[in-house]
Structure 1
């Protein structure tokens, strides 16, 4: 029953995320209302928390990050009432996404820590792998690329070890690795990931986006800025393509690298006007650095210096955030080590109990065998004593009873040769009769004793 409920919840959450992240903005409001009405009509389990979650996805799509967080907090409160670990895992993970969007890396790492606690209760290797992919994203966006790749490798190992056949997460791992290789300017590894994403063994509603984005990443690393500019601008009109928050920044960088200063400034200014980007120090640092470089090319040293100063302040804030991210991630690592210790301790205790049980069973077996062996020896000993006693008894009967009466019979027969009177003959016959009867009696006694089993 619980598994059926989890399957329904998984399908509903997946549908909501897929639709609201990819559908045109004009359809979102009506669809949100229709889904809420359907939930109420069919009395879906945990409908209150799922509706709040849907509201959060909707607000995030509108770039209203604070409203998105507020809705998520309500969804988490509702899920806590029912102690639904699957929904809590989804909600904390999505909360980390929203916090990452607004540049709150510390909050995102903390939310991933809560999600990790929930996934441990679910004992689901697929969700654990998916969580590792999500955690890798916060390290990627914080510029900690080696840590990001490490979490992606962990996710890949979980998939391989548990033989999980889900093409969507395999595509996601490949794409996230490509993002890290682009940032580290590793052209060859990026190209391998791009080619892998073009292969047949892929599945994701964002697959088209992954393929196109890694394609223009290759153009940027080859310094083919004109080609990259054409590719990115074409994607803005591609209805199947899902933009991310760095798309316009990379376009501005491409214009700047190609010498199209005015176009670069247009895209930088456009991003600074967007509230969702303003509170993100890492993005602001990049944008103000580009403004400073544009001012330098226009020989406006004062403006360049002012922008460099702002960029430096944002860089300091970003570094401060990174240090706190490091503290939070260290705590997550400590928790992982502690959990591993407790898992190994429980495993050791189970193995110790089994070993003690095996030893006790072996000792009992040895005792039982020893008892049977001793009993068998005693039985043979008593049988030997009984046989000796019977043998002695038979020898006694033979020597005292059988042979005695037989001697009497033989002696009487010998005397009968010299009998002269009838009276003496009758007397000898009586003695013979008695001795014969006694002899027969004793022979029967011997026969009975020989036939006895014990």
Structure 2
């Protein structure tokens, strides 16, 4: 039989299982709530990131880190993908081109794996700009053509405008980089074509900033300074409206050089230093390096070689600190590796999922362990009860045999002497209770026989 102690133990085990299951249920429910909350947070971060990609770089780092946390916590691939895009932008703005390209290519591989075509133009655009800034125009044009193709496939007018603007800028930069300015007959027209698309709707107003700046740069290089100042001024208005401070550094740059070219040198330097101050505030060493190069050239033209040398030293120090030449070589090497082998993805997207799986596995393991203990206990109790049942059944069988023997003795052997005694008593009664000696001896003998039979019954009963 199951004793009271065993019953209590089983009740305690059952209670533990119920508590674990209840906790698991609450944990699962809590995880669903956490996922829902983090999904809303991730979408809000993504929306913010879309607005500030040209803003302060530290803001991009904060957004990227938050999205990484959410992505790894829930294995939320959308959050991880945007985290990498913002991370690549941040590293690009910090002039860490090698790391930026690595992250951008991871984002591209993830987007292709997930079938997220919406983000392909943006990612190809980042990669193309990195190659352009490293002087690898062949790869820059290859990537920007991929961006244009993806944008058209998505029927995304904003991305088409952006990609066309990049191609126009690359074209212009290429002819400057190769000192073939006289052969640049297309970049300005490409800029105006893209600007026309951006001016067709107010929703593309912010996108006009880059085109005003690029057109201003081209006019400045053509020494058409009034037009350069006009278009750069339009860029200043919109860049201020949308807080695009990095874009302001270009607007002030072109305005400053244009005023310098028109003979208003002090005014020109003022604008260049305004742009330089913004790069310090935004912590953008690459733009700061470019502006010191401009200052070096302008001071040299004024004959102020002391200031020219100071600007050049700052430019050279920044260039060395950012290892621009090394970055250029590494970017080319990485692109070859990526195009030939698509690079092995070295990411930890499954960390959060693995952590959740391990946590759930521990809970399930505890429940399973308790369940096995309960099964083992019940099986042991079954064997004990079975054994005792066999013993009881065996005893019952022996008892039945004993009862049969007693019944036999009682119905046959005990009945005989008892009948004799009754017969002799009737005889004595008939003689008026007077008996002969012979009759009394017979009565005595029969009584002994009855006693023997009674003893036999008792012995039979005691034997079981």
Instruction: Establish whether TM, by shorter chain, passes 0.5.
Output: yes
Contact 2:293–2:315 (8 Å) recurs in 1? yes
Residue of 291, 298, 314 corresponding to 1:310: 314
Structure 2: distance between partners of 1:184 and 1:262:
31
Partner of residue 140, structure 1: 132
Partner of residue 46, structure 1: 39
In structure 2, the CA distance between the partners of 1:141 and 1:246, relative to structure 1 (3 Å rule), is farther
Partner of residue 156, structure 2: 166
- Once the two structures are TM-superposed, the CA of residue 166 in structure 1 deviates from its matched residue by 2.5
Residue of 321, 326, 333 corresponding to 2:324: 321
- The TM-score with structure 2 as length reference comes to 0.55
Structure 2: distance between partners of 1:323 and 1:53:
33
In structure 2, the CA distance between the partners of 1:240 and 1:215, relative to structure 1 (3 Å rule), is farther
Structure 2: distance between partners of 1:165 and 1:215:
26
In structure 2, the CA distance between the partners of 1:78 and 1:278, relative to structure 1 (3 Å rule), is closer
In structure 2, the CA distance between the partners of 1:333 and 1:49, relative to structure 1 (3 Å rule), is farther
Unaligned runs of 5+ in 1: 1-39, 342-454
Is the counterpart of residue 88 in structure 1 residue 80 in structure 2? yes
- Once the two structures are TM-superposed, the CA of residue 267 in structure 1 deviates from its matched residue by 2.0
Partner of residue 249, structure 1: 253
Contact 1:133–1:173 (8 Å) recurs in 2? yes
- Once the two structures are TM-superposed, the CA of residue 152 in structure 1 deviates from its matched residue by 1.0
* Partner SS state of residue 237, structure 1: helix
Partner of residue 190, structure 1: 187
In structure 2, the CA distance between the partners of 1:53 and 1:207, relative to structure 1 (3 Å rule), is closer
Contact 1:296–1:304 (8 Å) recurs in 2? yes
Residue of 238, 246, 258 corresponding to 2:262: 258
Partner of residue 235, structure 1: 235
Partner of residue 118, structure 1: 110
Partner of residue 422, structure 1: none
- Once the two structures are TM-superposed, the CA of residue 67 in structure 1 deviates from its matched residue by 4.5
Q: Which has the larger radius of gyration?
A: 2
In structure 2, the CA distance between the partners of 1:283 and 1:246, relative to structure 1 (3 Å rule), is same
Q: Deviations over 1:354-397 (max 9, x none)?
A: xxxxxxxxxxxxxxxxxxxxxxxxxxxxxxxxxxxxxxxxxxxx
Structure 1: distance between partners of 2:281 and 2:128:
21
Structure 1: distance between partners of 2:192 and 2:52:
35
Structure 2: distance between partners of 1:314 and 1:340:
31
In structure 2, the CA distance between the partners of 1:268 and 1:198, relative to structure 1 (3 Å rule), is closer
* Partner SS state of residue 111, structure 2: helix
- Once the two structures are TM-superposed, the CA of residue 45 in structure 1 deviates from its matched residue by 6.2
Which residues in structure 2 correspond to 1:247-396 (within 5 Å)? Answer: 247-274=251-278, 276=280, 280-318=284-322, 320-328=323-331, 330-339=333-342
In structure 2, the CA distance between the partners of 1:179 and 1:53, relative to structure 1 (3 Å rule), is same
Aligned residues: 298
- Once the two structures are TM-superposed, the CA of residue 55 in structure 1 deviates from its matched residue by 6.2
In structure 2, the CA distance between the partners of 1:104 and 1:304, relative to structure 1 (3 Å rule), is same
In structure 2, the CA distance between the partners of 1:127 and 1:287, relative to structure 1 (3 Å rule), is closer
Contact 2:252–2:271 (8 Å) recurs in 1? yes
Unaligned runs of 5+ in 2: 1-32, 176-180, 345-464
- Once the two structures are TM-superposed, the CA of residue 51 in structure 1 deviates from its matched residue by 4.3
Partner of residue 365, structure 1: none
Contact 2:225–2:261 (8 Å) recurs in 1? yes
Is the counterpart of residue 97 in structure 1 residue 89 in structure 2? yes
| Of 100-109 and 199-208, the range deviating more from structure 2 | 199-208
Contact 2:225–2:258 (8 Å) recurs in 1? yes
Contact 2:299–2:305 (8 Å) recurs in 1? yes
Q: Deviations over 1:256-276 (max 9, x none)?
A: 333322122212222332355
* Partner SS state of residue 155, structure 2: coil
In structure 2, the CA distance between the partners of 1:335 and 1:142, relative to structure 1 (3 Å rule), is closer
Q: Deviations over 1:387-425 (max 9, x none)?
A: xxxxxxxxxxxxxxxxxxxxxxxxxxxxxxxxxxxxxxx
Contact 1:197–1:207 (8 Å) recurs in 2? no
- Once the two structures are TM-superposed, the CA of residue 142 in structure 1 deviates from its matched residue by 3.6
In structure 2, the CA distance between the partners of 1:132 and 1:271, relative to structure 1 (3 Å rule), is same
